[in-house]
């Protein structure tokens, strides 16, 4: 896997440097302004969610998950914690004893009716409110407001494969084409196809469309 990952990262860099820098500067300006507005206006909501997370389950309020960002760089995405603190151990035991769940995990990288999710976690995931802290990732420059979802390294090697150099040539996003269309009803491979097309075709106008489409998707609690 290390040699495969090295080749993927080199391909990503060579493609990225050929792209127009002006478009990326415009996108970055939008990201910063939009994130500052969300964080400033949403502060009361942040505090309320943090309180509910702390009161309804044992563990920290926030969770940092390791993902691959632009150029294949490892980043840590911030989220409100929606799972029990021993989620990894519970998943390992569940998949080892349930072949159907194992197959579901391999296809979608998540489970329906996941027993590891907390009571408040179900609501936060359905509405995507658990991802609000990722606007801090945007301000840091790790992510964009709109873009492909940040994958784990195993997804890049085993699922994205030749598509990885295109998908990871742009910054990962909080929302994107996949979230406002298929949400979580598609497989990882289908998601990769959607994300690759976005990375090749994106524009600021489409980003604005996706942002506005994200709001009704959150309210309808579709997917997840």
What is the structure's pLDDT at 13?
58
Determine the average pLDDT of the residues in 41-54: 95
Q: Reduced to 3 states, what is the DSSP secondary structure of residue 126?
A: helix
Distance of CA 4 to the CA centre of its chain: 23
* C-beta neighbour count of 56 within 10 angstroms: 11
pLDDT of 66 higher than 80? yes
Segment 80-96, tens digit of pLDDT = 999 998 888 988 888 88
Q: Residues 13-23: pLDDT tens digits? A: 555 555 567 78
Whether the per-residue pLDDT at 1 is higher than 90: the answer is no
Dig out the tokens for 130 from the structure.
């658990």
pTM passes above 0.85: no
Could you tell me the pLDDT band of residue 36, with boundaries at 50, 70 and 90? very high
Average pLDDT of every residue of the chain: 87
pLDDT of residue 33: 96
Sequence-ordered list of residues with C-beta below 8 angstroms from that of 151, at least 6 positions apart, any chain: 67, 68, 159, 160, 167, 172
């Amino acid at each position: 896997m290390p040699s495969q990952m090295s080749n993927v990262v080199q391909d990503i860099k060579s493609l990225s440097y050929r792209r127009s820098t002006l478009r990326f500067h415009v996108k970055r300006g939008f990201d910063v302004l939009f994130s500052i507005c969300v964080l400033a206006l949403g502060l009361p909501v942040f505090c309320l969610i943090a309180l509910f997370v702390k009161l309804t389950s044992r563990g920290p309020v926030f969770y940092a998950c390791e993902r691959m960002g632009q150029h294949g760089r490892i980043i840590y995405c911030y989220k409100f914690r929606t799972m029990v603190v021993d989620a990894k151990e519970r998943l390992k035991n569940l998949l080892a004893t349930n072949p159907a769940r194992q197959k579901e995990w391999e296809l979608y990288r998540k489970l329906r009716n996941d027993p590891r999710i907390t009571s408040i976690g179900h609501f936060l995931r359905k509405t995507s409110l658990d991802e609000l802290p990722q606007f801090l990732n945007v301000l840091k420059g790790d992510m964009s407001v709109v873009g492909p979802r940040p994958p784990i390294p195993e997804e890049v090697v085993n699922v994205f494969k030749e598509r990885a150099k295109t998908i990871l040539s742009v910054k990962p996003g909080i929302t994107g084409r996949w979230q406002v269309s298929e949400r979580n009803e598609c497989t990882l491979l289908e998601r990769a196809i959607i994300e690759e097309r976005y990375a090749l075709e994106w524009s600021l106008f489409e980003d604005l469309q996706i942002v506005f489409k994200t709001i009704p998707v959150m309210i309808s609690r579709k997917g997840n």
